Amino acid sequence: MSIRLTSGGRLIDRSAPIDFTFNGKHLRGFAGDTLASALLANGQMLVGRSFKYHRPRGIVASGAEEPNALVNLGQGARAEPNQRATTTELFDGLQARSQNHWPSLEFDVGVLNNYAARLLPGGFYYKTFIHPRAAWKHLFEPIIRQTAGLGAAPKDRDADRYEQVYAFCDLLVVGGGVAGLHAALVAARAGARVWLVEQSAHWGGRAPVDGDMIDALPAADWVNATVAELAGMANVTLRARTMAAGVYDHGYVLLDERLADHTPGDGRPRHRLWRMRAARIIAATGAIERPLSFAGNDVPGVMLASALRDYLVNWAVSPGQRTVVVTNNDDAYRTAIALHQAGQTVVAVIDARDQADGALPAQARALGIRVETGKAIARVKGGKHVTGVEVCRQTGDGTISRFLACNAVAMSGGWSPVVHLYSHCGGKLIWDEAGAMFRPDAAHPPITQDGSAMVIGAGAANGALREAIADADAQVRIALKAVGIKPKKSAVPRQDLPDEAALQPVWIMPQAAGVGLRAKVWLDYQNDVKVSDVQLAAREGYGSVEHAKRYTTLGMATDQGKISNINGLAVLAEALNEPVPQVGTTTFRPPYTPVPLGALAGEARGEIFQPLRKTPMDGWHAAQGATFEPVGLWRRPYCYPRPGETPRQAVAREVKNTRQALGLLDASTLGKIIVKGPDAGRFLDMLYTNVMSSLPVGRCRYGLMCNEQGFLSDDGVMARIDDDTWLCHTTSGGADRIHGWMEDWLQCEWWDWQVFTANVTEHYAQIAVVGPNARKLLERLGGMEVSQDALPFMAWADGSLAGFGCRVYRISFSGELSYEIAVPASQGAAFWQACHDAGASLGAMPYGTEALHVMRAEKGFIMIGDETDGTVTPQDLGLDWAVSKKKADFLGKRGQERSHLTSPDRWKLVGFETLDGSVIPEGAYVIAQGSNANGQRHVQGRVTSTYRSPTLGRGIAMGLLLRGPERMGEVVSFNTVDGSTVQARVVGPVFYDRDGEKQNV
Amino acid sequence: MLLLICPYCGVAAEETELAPGGEAHLKRFGPGSSDAEFEAYLFARKNPKGVHFERWRHAYGCGKWFLAARCTATLEVFGTYPAQTSGPPDDIIDRIKARRPDWKGFA
Ligand SMILES: [Zn+2]
């Protein structure tokens, strides 16, 4: 049973008790505890169940590498699944629940999977998905799905807020251990802008725990002094609780700062995501201890030796009063010595090496600790916690020599440098034979924009497990030089460390363990991957480490295999009979530890998820209760329902009123681009399919734009303002895109042409005054001549109306008598109100985008995005009249000459009238005879616009049909979702006022 | 998240400020060109692993299009230059040759 010792604990404050709950049980810890240390202090060894077999699992590690101790934290709007107990700082009222068990942690039905392990070998998921399908559906899936899974996704909206900040520095040092602290200090003293970030709440890393001496000071004192000096420097930013999630191109780093995880609801943002741009990055991220691979190495109470030492020294927690230490190196003896010094019993140190004569083993022996060399653990005994170990020879097959009763096992298989940040952007690793570890290859670093090293490893992360400060000193000087900063000469702080003998790589314990043992040796605790699974993958031909990973799911859990990957690939290498470096590592990808989605979203949620563009009259629309719809980033009134009206009734009223009296449309979102210069006409002739240079001043012309493939891209009305100035109207969603398109051609292809463009869309409010009473309204407003003679159809004029300076275009998108009036944006709302005031007795009503669409469809006018989808030419839409035959060239001309675009077998625009007057469903296809190889019905056309016409009292539609214009009068069938069909007659696309008389009065 | 220096305004612009425009130095083929020429212009792209020339617009900055010489494998940037040219300038070519002796040259 794990307990809290009566004294010690460098991080806890015994005068500040903290109450929390685990699975509803009320427990108490101290300020400074992590959830993991507090659970252990309360004797809670069992913290979760494994993913596949639901094996009981305890805490293995003390930091970010923890694979087992994942909990659901909080509830309601502050619920967060899969939180690592080892990195969760304890706070008053913390509520944690264990995961992946049913019905309870102590008694779990899913553990039956454990006994069915022979049915769930490596590659299980793939094999069951491939065949037999029924077995998955009826047998495996219900079992797995009901009992497995990670934490529960929160159901409520996140109560917290998150923020993002940009930051810049010369040198970003990641890792606040002694290497990182020293690197930051050297850089800071040299005058560099330095950031130092540390993922935990404490500075100093392992050195204070291990009792290192630095410059004759206890490491903790040296750390405090160094932090104090750094904190006093203006060019240094220190951030604890800040995790470097990933290194990206050209020095871009995401830093996730946990501001209020440990003080929830205190008003601060929960996390702050720093979007850092660093000229150079020092990865002083330390190293992670590896487990040893022996049978039962997942039983609660088996822990990394360094983690056990952390719990003992930092939090005065002893995971077991009788501990067996098992190791292949000298470092683990520190744990034995620390246990002994804390008054705990060390049953034995089981050392796989034949000799253990270094300074630390010697010290252990001198303390009376039994050391057994050449030995291994054959098997850990115990279910929900360790009860003992069976000892055997490391070189044998597991024949048991003796049983040792104990309730904790501290294991150490050596250390792996944390090379993630070095690897994210392609830094290469080399295999260090002596340390049996991958470390950064300084000859092949990840590079930045000038081709030089972007990330530089330092200290343990660079493979310097012992002389970390000396290595950091050398590396930071290289980094500073690279950014043109001269470091000051200074002595390197001296680390006083006992000599350590060489480690002996041990990948399977014992070496010749039989199949029975190998099937109980866990590599990946969270995803339940065993030595036997990796060996099976190798036998089944998954020789590539990336394939074996995906086949076995090794390293694919939320911990991303921080403690399992190296062991796993060493086992794979052995099975393949290849050296470890030849097998190589899987790819390290960001984030280093999970980042909340909330932090990635930042403030971009709710109303400010994305920018919202509003016209000058938006407030009026909202006050009228308009129903809005998004158009690009704009919001536009869809219709203006009156009390008791449905939107459909409102649209019908708006259409009828506009056709019979007077409608007012806020058309301000229409794109407006000025094209000006001596070559403007020539330029527009290239851009549009028809001729724009010949347009007389004072006149308007409808025009089409195509891409180089010849497909329609945008349309709109052009106005010739003066000799060298044109105003192009674009679609509402297309203004920015078309402006960019114009600039592309002007800057990159015809850069010698003298043309300027300006996107003035937001400079003007634009109002369409539409209907039989339109002219009467303008006459009432007064100020300029708007008669048929003075301002005929497709003409424009500058003037004033009701005292507002304006430009009036006589254009129509509805088929009615219509004027579009542009006024400066700042006067848009006032002019809009003036139109309504003066128009009230003329029947003026606002209409929205749906009425606009219905009226243009009644007239057979096409809409970009409805009739077009990037594969439709002007000719397909019967717009040949707007495509010049005379021009030698325009964008899209050559594309339109391609044989498949000139083929008579194109789908072409026609109108459709349903025989029963109904509305053809949106997206419906015109069906043809027969089916394709997939059993899908052949089709010969599709509907592109379909509405109920209030004017005509029935459904109308436009669409594309194979050789459509040749098939007038034919009846075709449209499919519907429910499998029935709708019959419609092929007609011309213009349903209303075919001769266009109403707009030209 | 590339950093590219806009040759017009001198800003080291982050990728979020830029709009990509694909391969640089394409020759436009219009009416009168053969099917093969037109296909090459519209569709055939080099897509190399290594030295590449591409178009970028400083869309959320000065609005200008510029060209960049970049290694698509390592993201090393050899230089950026104004778009009003039909081939990379000599100083850029020299820098690429210095950094990539095996490079076969601009063609
Ligand atoms: Zn610029």
Contact call for residues A369 and A356 (beta carbons, < 8 A) = no
Note whether A3 and A120 are same-domain residues: yes
A885 part of a folded domain: no
Could you count the other beta carbons within 10 Å of the beta carbon of residue A941? 25
State in Å: Cα A401 to ligand 1 middle: 75
Least confident among A99-113, A232-246, A952-966, B33-47? A99-113
With an 8 Å Cβ cutoff, are B76 and A250 in contact? no
Note whether A664 and A675 are same-domain residues: no
With an 8 Å Cβ cutoff, are A449 and B28 in contact? no
Would you place residue A557 in the very low, low, confident or very high pLDDT band (cuts 50, 70, 90)? confident
Query: Is the per-residue pLDDT at A761 higher than 70?
Result: yes
With an 8 Å Cβ cutoff, are A749 and B38 in contact? no
Three-state SS at A98 = strand
Note whether A323 and A282 are same-domain residues: no
- Here the tokens at position A608 are 């400010």
With an 8 Å Cβ cutoff, are B75 and A251 in contact? no
Measured in whole angstroms, the distance separating CA A922 from the mean position of its chain's CA atoms is 33
Note whether A303 and A403 are same-domain residues: yes
How open is the CA angle A479-A480-A481, to the nearest 5 degrees? 90
Note whether A184 and A139 are same-domain residues: no
Longest dimension (CA), chain A: 114
**pLDDT tens string A559-586:** 888 999 999 999 999 999 999 999 988 8
Q: Which of B14, B19, B74 lies closest to A447 in CB terms?
A: B74
Instruction: Report the DSSP pairing between strands A194-197 and A981-987.
Output: unpaired
Of A192, A283, A727, A272, residue with least CA distance to A486: A192
Q: What is the pLDDT of residue A560?
A: 87
In residues, how long is chain A?
A: 1001
Q: Which of A708, A749, A888 lies closest to B42 in CB terms?
A: A708
**pLDDT tens string A921-940:** 999 999 999 999 999 999 99
With an 8 Å Cβ cutoff, are B65 and A449 in contact? no
How open is the CA angle A464-A467-A468, to the nearest 5 degrees? 65
Note whether A1 and A105 are same-domain residues: yes
Contact call for residues A956 and A859 (beta carbons, < 8 A) = no
A892 part of a folded domain: no
Rounded distance, CA A801 to CA A809, Å? 13
A324 part of a folded domain: yes
With an 8 Å Cβ cutoff, are B1 and A744 in contact? no
**pLDDT tens string A711-752:** 999 999 999 999 999 999 999 989 999 999 999 999 999 999
CA distances from A346 to A408, A643, A650 (A): 10, 82, 83
Note whether A852 and A959 are same-domain residues: no
Note whether A12 and A142 are same-domain residues: yes
pTM of the model: 0.91
Could you count the other beta carbons within 10 Å of the beta carbon of residue A616? 22
A135 part of a folded domain: yes
Contact call for residues B18 and B56 (beta carbons, < 8 A) = yes
Of A51, A75, A56, residue with least CA distance to A386: A56
Q: What is the pLDDT of residue A489?
A: 94
Note whether A272 and A314 are same-domain residues: no
Domain boundaries along the sequence of chain B: 3-99
Measured in whole angstroms, the distance separating CA A998 from the mean position of its chain's CA atoms is 54
- Here the tokens at position A974 are 């449209």
Which residues lie below 8 Å from residue B92, measured CB to CB, with a gap of 6+? B69, B78, B79, B81
A599 part of a folded domain: no
Per CB-CB distance under 8 Å, the chain B contacts of A252 are 1, 14
**pLDDT tens string A613-638:** 999 999 999 999 999 999 989 999 99
Three-state SS at A92 = coil
Would you place residue A380 in the very low, low, confident or very high pLDDT band (cuts 50, 70, 90)? very high
Range of the domain at A625: 618-669+763-856
Longest dimension (CA), chain B: 42
- Here the tokens at position A641 are 């329902």
The reply to whether A888 touches chain B by the CB within 8 Å rule is yes
**pLDDT tens string B54-79:** 999 999 999 999 999 999 999 999 99
Rounded distance, CA A220 to CA A229, Å? 14
- Here the tokens at position B104 are 């076969």
Q: Which of B3, B38, B75 lies closest to A894 in CB terms?
A: B38
- Here the tokens at position A571 are 């086992």
The distance of B107 to chain A (nearest Cα, Å) reads 19
Instruction: Report the DSSP pairing between strands A981-987 and A971-975.
Output: antiparallel
Mean per-residue pLDDT over chain A, rounded: 94
With an 8 Å Cβ cutoff, are B65 and A743 in contact? yes
Note whether A142 and A213 are same-domain residues: no
State in Å: Cα B9 to ligand 1 middle: 4
Per CB-CB distance under 8 Å, the chain B contacts of A425 are 75
DSSP symbol at A671: E
State in Å: Cα A76 to ligand 1 middle: 47
Give the count of domains, chain A.
Answer: 7
**pLDDT tens string A475-532:** 999 999 999 999 999 999 999 999 999 999 999 999 999 988 999 999 998 888 999 9
Q: What is the pLDDT of residue A145?
A: 47
- Residue with the two structure tokens 């009296």: A661
A248 part of a folded domain: yes
Rounded distance, CA A917 to CA A983, Å? 10
Per CB-CB distance under 8 Å, the chain A contacts of B63 are 743
Would you place residue A146 in the very low, low, confident or very high pLDDT band (cuts 50, 70, 90)? very low
Contact call for residues A770 and A665 (beta carbons, < 8 A) = yes
A956 part of a folded domain: yes
Query: Is the per-residue pLDDT at A116 higher than 80?
Result: no
Angle, nearest 10°, between helix axes A178-189 and A219-231? 30
Note whether A283 and A295 are same-domain residues: no
The reply to whether A902 touches chain B by the CB within 8 Å rule is no
Give φ, ψ of A128 to 5 degrees: -75, -30
- CATH assignment of the domain containing A920: 2.40.30.110
Query: Is the per-residue pLDDT at A112 higher than 60?
Result: no
Three-state SS at A789 = coil
Of A635, A505, A499, residue with least CA distance to A571: A505
With an 8 Å Cβ cutoff, are B3 and A744 in contact? no
The residue among A116, A137, A159 that closes a domain is A159
Per CB-CB distance under 8 Å, the chain B contacts of A451 are 74, 76, 99
Note whether A313 and A358 are same-domain residues: yes
Rounded distance, CA A180 to CA A221, Å? 16
Amino acid at B91: D
The distance of B6 to chain A (nearest Cα, Å) reads 14
Fold for domain B3-99? Folate-binding fold (3.30.2270)
